[in-house]
Structure 1
Amino acid sequence: MRKEKNIILKRQDKKPILIDAFYSEYKSNQPTVIFCHGYKGFKDWGAWNLLAESIAKVGCCFIKFNFSHNGGTMEDPIDFPDLEAFGNNNYSKELEDLNDVIDWSQNYYQNNSSINTSQIWLIGHSRGGGITILKASEDSRISKLITLASVSDFEKRTSTTGNLEDWKKNGVKFVLNGRTKQQMPHYYQFYEDFKANKKRLDIESAEKRLTIPHLIIHGDEDTSVSISEAMDLKKWNPKSQLKIIEGADHVFNTKHPWKDSKMPKELKETSQSILDFILG
């Protein structure tokens, strides 16, 4: 398996994006699978590399990347050395990042016979799931969608957490990262961007517009994103498939760092469900 790690996508007047790609050099016409990490996440979090390998092995080009404002840097892509960037992130930037990664994949691999750049599938975890739903609803290049422990509503996570007046007055609010113990800033621009783009950022409307196959995967012991949000997605899009992973938490029983060479059974079941869906 070929692994291309930490490719730098440079962009004019925008922060660069760091990208990984996993694929076979001996198979042809491999579909492009692009993975979006979640809130306080990054491409190398936990067991995501093992998930990438498991999907690439069956004949896919698995691409994962760090959102440009996730708090990592080109030199230090793990954890959050750049809290200023983290504080200036928003949903619109993440949608733009994903679009640029899709464009990059089609340009970077256009002459590579191993990879089919016209067959693009998205996978998103948690907040990244919401981003992929929005993107899939508005971009005809996407032909399949898989969401893992996805959120179903950006508004309640934007406008109902904390005091809006205090947020506006102070210009920033902080959220503790329980693992790194950092106080993670969220500048008020996050709320302003959401309000300005509320219609585009409506996950319910996007889910109802989907015409492509959508696999919804959720753990029944997820305490970060309620399983009811998966049920909502299924209700809004009855043609979607819903897979409940028994005993799985929000990160499918992984953690960071993940030092085991194997996935836990909950993530392995998740990987198999993804494979059954994309190869079916």
Structure 2
Amino acid sequence: MIKKNAQIEGQNGKPILIDYTYSKRFTNQEIVIFCHGYKGFKDWGAWHLIAEAFAEKGIAFLKFNFSHYGGTPESPSTFEDLEAFGQDNYSKQLNDLGLVIDWVEREFATNPHIHHKKLNLIGHSRGGGIVYLKAAEDKRIQKVISWSSVADFKERFPKGDDFEEWKGKGVYHVKNGRTGQMMPHYFQFFEDFQANEKRLSILEQAKNLQQTALIVHGTSDEAVNLNEANRLAEVIPNSEMHFIKDANHVYSMKHPFEASVLPKQTQELIKVSVDFILENSN
């Protein structure tokens, strides 16, 4: 099993931390680029074990941290840079993903084990929305998979008096239930969405997807309603849905994840996703 780390420059000069895992037992293999969700990061929970599981099936697995996710190269699994977190927005994340895709094409152009043109995207939660948007605008992507994805970014902004308070103060805070930190969101977050609403409208852009898509959702998701999956399936021309019974938003994983065996819901998540990618793979 090959595991490597890399770092590239992201938005506003901030670093994008990357790691990838693959097996040398396979040649010409597919590669997955994984996008984490809100208050997430590439080393959360059991993502590393999921990467190994994909690699064992002959799919290279790359995961990365968005440039403004809130961590630093020195402390990648904690939120030491809350100013960056507050300055994050969907446009920056889309552009970061584009930079990672560009890097993958260059990095693996001569690698006999990984085909740099066999690019697939997986996104969890908010990252699911990001991969649908990127696939709609980037035809280099072959297949798209979402895990517990949101269907509409606009709906998730504060509303009513909360919105007016945000606009007036220029910032609102959300408590991180795991760390206890109050995490800032500056009003630029909404202003950027408003300025780029067409590009950032998941359901509208998903109508234009030429790639096949797999929509996976847990039936006991406490963070993103199951109906979000149905809304995505209604507009994506060539999509499949898979519901995982009793799975919560993170498929029974947690952070830190110290067990050696993945939960059954996570194992099902891996199987259905691997099968989807390898189906009709050349």
2: CA distance, partners of 1:124 / 1:21: 16
User: Which of structure 1's runs of 4+ aligned residues deviate more than 6 A?
Assistant: none
2: CA distance, partners of 1:223 / 1:11: 32
Structure 2 residue 7 is matched with structure 1 residue 3: no
TM-score by length of 2: 0.96
Q: RMSD between aligned alpha carbons?
A: 1.3
Question: Given that residues 159 and 191 in structure 1 are in contact (C-alpha distance below 8 angstroms), is that contact kept between their aligned partners in structure 2?
Answer: no
* Counterparts in 2 of 1:81 and 1:13: CA distance versus 1, 3 Å: closer
Structure 2 residue 160 is matched with structure 1 residue 156: no
2: CA distance, partners of 1:78 / 1:60: 25
Partner of 2:99: 100
TM-score by length of 1: 0.97
Question: Given that residues 125 and 150 in structure 2 are in contact (C-alpha distance below 8 angstroms), is that contact kept between their aligned partners in structure 1?
Answer: yes
Structure 2 residue 277 is matched with structure 1 residue 278: yes
Question: Given that residues 210 and 237 in structure 2 are in contact (C-alpha distance below 8 angstroms), is that contact kept between their aligned partners in structure 1?
Answer: no
Question: Given that residues 88 and 189 in structure 1 are in contact (C-alpha distance below 8 angstroms), is that contact kept between their aligned partners in structure 2?
Answer: yes
Alignment of 1:209-228 (within 5 A): 209-228=208-227
CA-CA distance at 1:71 after TM superposition: 0.4
CA-CA distance at 1:88 after TM superposition: 0.3
CA-CA distance at 1:30 after TM superposition: 1.1
SS in 2 for 1:112: coil
SS in 1 for 2:172: strand
1: CA distance, partners of 2:27 / 2:200: 36
CA-CA distance at 1:111 after TM superposition: 1.5
CA offsets 1:116-140 (integer angstroms, 9 cap, x no match): 0011000000000000000001100
Alignment of 1:5-154 (within 5 A): 5=5, 7-10=6-9, 13-154=12-153
* Counterparts in 2 of 1:107 and 1:215: CA distance versus 1, 3 Å: same
2: CA distance, partners of 1:12 / 1:77: 17
CA-CA distance at 1:22 after TM superposition: 0.3
CA-CA distance at 1:195 after TM superposition: 0.3
CA-CA distance at 1:49 after TM superposition: 0.7
CA offsets 1:222-248 (integer angstroms, 9 cap, x no match): 010000000101111253100000010
Question: Given that residues 11 and 95 in structure 2 are in contact (C-alpha distance below 8 angstroms), is that contact kept between their aligned partners in structure 1?
Answer: no
CA offsets 1:28-64 (integer angstroms, 9 cap, x no match): 1111210000000000101111111111111111100
Partner of 1:189: 188
Number of residue pairs the alignment of both structures matches: 279
Which amino acid counterpart does residue 186 of structure 2 have in structure 1?
Answer: Y
1: CA distance, partners of 2:99 / 2:242: 30
Which deviates further from its counterpart, 236-245 or 78-87?
236-245
